[in-house]
Amino acid sequence: MIPMNNSRSRSNKNLIVELGVKSDPIHYRYSFEWLFDLMAEERIHYLQLGTFVEFYFLSDSYFLRLKEAADSRSIQISSIFTSHRELGGFMTEDPEFSQITIKNYRRLIEIAQILRCPAAGSSMGGVLRDRLEFRSQGIQAYIEGMKEMMYYAKEHGLSWLTMEPMSCYAEPPCNTTELKMIADELVEHHHSHPESTTQFGYCSDVSHGWVNEKKEIIENNMHYFTASFPYMYEFHFKNTDKIYNDTFGFESENLDRGIVDVKKIHTLLLDNQDIIPVSPVIGYLELPGPKLGRDYTDNLLERMMRESLRYLKKQLD
């Protein structure tokens, strides 16, 4: 298990790829205890805790109980990452949104400390489609906001703050040039203030690529994923179609329509281990889950999770 104060930096060349689960699909559908039991039965020990509406307002005692339930099943809450785009206020022109983002981001970090979780993160958010001229300013506002959060996270014992590269122009970064530019500035900020800031890295995604309004692929998902390796702390495992539109798992009925080659991803990770800054690197299964709130769909989640996890474990062996 990964201790809270371990940055997971590597002193050798033997990259370990671990498998975990992001908790998104159980929200309002199943309990965390149900998920922890399933993970324990499948011998999956790493959970990326996803956010939900009540997340930022729950008491410390709730999260202490959650940690106790996970610990009792040998599950480590090894990462927290937003499930929606609720921390995207830096990308708006409204100062009230930015203020709420700062408030909630600080609470996210405080919850990570309570859970003894070494990393927390979110997507950058998006600029409104009718205000795309604000995009460059929004990116810089995010960078400055994250610099502030890196100090706060360090004060609360975290090792990393992460961000997810996204899949469209309105939600940067959407290409390798932006991915590198944003990460380089934040990594340099940490290197300039190593004692008072956390490290910054990406929560990458194997299914993200950039397709324009004409459905032309501008940034291939595998090229985009590989470009994140020098900055990658963790990543998301999910399947997708040829234009990165629909996302789904690795159940038998989805394998033929999906384009994500797990064995190829594993090989890429091992072949590029010299530039990946951490080991182990954890790939979290991120399922959207079946349609919420139907008697004939909610009961499908267990099979979806078990089949996807077993497939991924087999491909990573």
- Where are the domains positioned within the chain? 17-316
Percentage of the chain exceeding pLDDT 70: 96
The CATH class of the 17-316 domain is alpha beta
pLDDT confidence of residue 4 = 45
83 contacts 29 by C-beta, under 8 angstroms: no
Reported confidence tier of residue 10, pLDDT bands at 50, 70, 90 = low
Distance of alpha carbon 15 from alpha carbon 251, whole angstroms: 27
89-115 average pLDDT score: 96
- Residue 287 is classified by DSSP as -
Reported confidence tier of residue 9, pLDDT bands at 50, 70, 90 = low
> How far is C-alpha 30 from the chain's CA centre?
21
pLDDT confidence of residue 2 = 46
Distance of alpha carbon 305 from alpha carbon 22, whole angstroms: 11
86-101 average pLDDT score: 94
Distance of alpha carbon 50 from alpha carbon 40, whole angstroms: 18
- Tell me the one-letter amino acid at 23: S
| pTM of the predicted protein model | 0.95
Q: Which residues of 206-228 are buried (b: 16+ CB within 10 A; e: fewer)?
A: bbbbbbeeeeeeebebbebbbbb
In the three-class reduction of DSSP (H, G, I as helix; E, B as strand; rest coil), residue 42 is classed as coil
Q: What is the pLDDT of residues 59-75, one digit of tens each?
A: 999 999 999 999 999 99
Q: Which residues of 254-272 are buried (b: 16+ CB within 10 A; e: fewer)?
A: beeebebebeebbebbeee
